[in-house]
Structure 1
Amino acid sequence: MRLGVLDVGSNTVHLLVVDAHPGARPLPAHSHKEQLRLAELLDEHGAITPEGVERLVSVIGEAVQAAEDKGCEDVLPFATSAVREAPNADEVLARVKAETGVELPVLSGEDEARLTFLAVRRWFGWSAGKLLVLDIGGGSLEIAYGIDEDPDAAVSLPLGAGRLTSAWLPADPPDPADVKALRRHVRAQIARTVGEFSRFGAPDHVVATSKTFKQLARIAGAAREADGLYVQRDLTRKSLEEWVPRLSAMTTAERSTLPGVSEGRASQLLAGALVAEAAMDLFGVDTLEICPWALREGVILRRLDHLP
Structure 2
Amino acid sequence: MRLGVLDVGSNTVHLLVVDAHRGGHPNPMSSTKAVLRLAEEIDENGRMRDSGSRALVSTIEDFTRIATSSGCEQVMAFATSAVRDATNCDEVLRKVKDASGLDLQVLEGIDESRLTSLAVRRWYGWSAGRILAFDIGGGSLEMSNGVDEEPDVALSLPLGAGRLTREWLQGDPPSKRRVSVLRDWLDAELKEPAKELRAAGKADLAVGSSKTFRSLARLTGAAPSGAGPRVKRTLTVSGLRQLTAFISRMTTADRAELEGVSADRAPQIVAGALVAEAAMRALGVDTLDICPWALREGVILRRLDSEPAGAMTTN
Same fold? TM cut 0.5: yes
Deviation at 1:32, TM superposition (A): 1.2
Structural mapping, 1:143-292, within 5 Å: 143-292=143-292
Unaligned runs of 5+ residues in structure 1 are none
Partner residue, 1:55 = 55
Q: Taking structure 2 as the reference length, what is the TM-score of the superposition? A: 0.96
Partner residue, 1:78 = 78
Q: Distance in 2 between matches of 1:3 and 1:79?
A: 17
1:148 match: secondary structure: coil
Deviation at 1:307, TM superposition (A): 2.5
Q: Relative to 1, partners in 2 of residues 1:175 and 1:45: Cα closer, same or farther, differing over 3 Å?
A: farther
* 1:47-96: CA deviation from partner (whole Å, max 9, x where unpaired): 21111111111111111011011000001111001111111111111111
Partner residue, 1:117 = 117
* 1:20-69: CA deviation from partner (whole Å, max 9, x where unpaired): 11111110111111111111211123321111111111111111011011
Q: Distance in 2 between matches of 1:200 and 1:165?
A: 31
For the aligned residue pairs, the C-alpha RMSD in angstroms reads 0.9
The residue type paired with residue 166 of structure 2 is: S
* 1:176-230: CA deviation from partner (whole Å, max 9, x where unpaired): 2221222222222111201111112210000010111000000100000001111
Counterpart check, 1:19 vs 2:13:
no
The residue type paired with residue 241 of structure 1 is: R
* 1:239-279: CA deviation from partner (whole Å, max 9, x where unpaired): 01111111111100111111111011001000000000000
1:292 match: secondary structure: coil
Counterpart check, 1:307 vs 2:292:
no
Unaligned runs of 5+ residues in structure 2 are 309-315
The residue type paired with residue 178 of structure 1 is: R
Q: Which runs of 4+ in 1 moved over 2 A?
A: none
Q: Is the 8 A contact 1:22 1:307 kept in 2?
A: no
Aligned residues: 308
Deviation at 1:166, TM superposition (A): 1.1
Q: Distance in 2 between matches of 1:62 and 1:176?
A: 42
1:132 match: secondary structure: strand
Q: Distance in 2 between matches of 1:205 and 1:166?
A: 32
2:105 match: secondary structure: coil
Q: Distance in 2 between matches of 1:274 and 1:202?
A: 24
Q: Taking structure 1 as the reference length, what is the TM-score of the superposition? A: 0.98
Deviation at 1:139, TM superposition (A): 0.4
2:106 match: secondary structure: coil
Partner residue, 1:106 = 106
Q: Distance in 1 between matches of 2:31 and 2:23?
A: 23
Q: Distance in 1 between matches of 2:39 and 2:299?
A: 22
